[in-house]
Amino acid sequence: MPRLKQSHTAAGWLAAAVLLTSGCAVLDSSSADARGPGASYEQAYADHEPLHVVGYPSTGSLLVMQELVWDIADGKADELRKLATSDSSEAQAGKTAENWIKGFGAGARGRVTGDFYDGGSERQVVILYFHATRQIKEFTVRLDGDAGKEDWRVLMKSTDFKDATHAPGWAPKEPGATGSRMKNNG
């Protein structure tokens, strides 16, 4: 088992436990394919701060967002482009990857919180909070691919830099401030 960092929140521990216990086969095959030959999710996890989580991600939506943050942080435009949905053209995905790296690279190298909205069974809106730079960005992730070979991917159609780095007007200033987390009604 890989050595885990000691500075995890309870949500981070839970997400890591879910990923390492129930999703090992998925992580070993899809993450290795997405990150390149010889690369592993475990090594990438050891090399980066984990994504802090609010809301209700699925194993797949959490994995693709974690890889997205790491690829932005590392400036890996080619790897980031591989996470694009099939309806994002090569040109769109490439330009969007460049825009996100340029716009969010510094923030992605620090603490990042993903606020996962809705259920995440087929599609999910995720707001990333880049704490060091105080930037906020909305992403859409969804299942994509042929029946039986679907994988979680990111919509990448933001070829204009301003559009690619624009903060959503509806998102709260802090993670979990709206409906992404369960409220105690008692």
Q: What is the mean pLDDT of residues 22-34?
A: 38
**What six digits make up the tokens of 8?**
């995890």
Residue 182 pLDDT more than 70? no
Question: Distance (Å, rounded) from C-alpha 76 to C-alpha 179?
Answer: 33
What's residue 179's pLDDT?
Answer: 55
Q: Which tokens go with 110?
A: 């620090």
SS3 170: coil
Residue 63 tokens, joined: 């994995």
Q: Kindly report, residue by residue over 76-131, the tens digit of the pLDDT.
A: 999 999 999 999 999 999 999 999 999 999 999 999 999 999 877 889 999 999 99
The string over 86-105, giving b where at least 16 C-beta atoms fall within 10 Å of a residue's C-beta and e elsewhere, is: eebeeebbbbbbbbbbebbe
At 43, is the pLDDT very low, low, confident or very high (cuts 50, 70, 90)?
confident
pLDDT tens across 137-176, in order? 999 999 998 767 789 999 999 999 999 999 999 999 889 8
Q: Where are the alpha helices (DSSP H) in the chain?
A: 10-21, 24-26, 32-35, 41-47, 59-74, 77-81, 90-108, 161-164
Residue 31 has pLDDT above 60, yes or no: no
Q: What is the pTM of this model?
A: 0.74
Backbone φ, ψ for residue 4 (5° rounding): -95, 150
- Tokens (6 digits) for 84: 């694009």
Adjacent-strand bridge partners of 152: 143
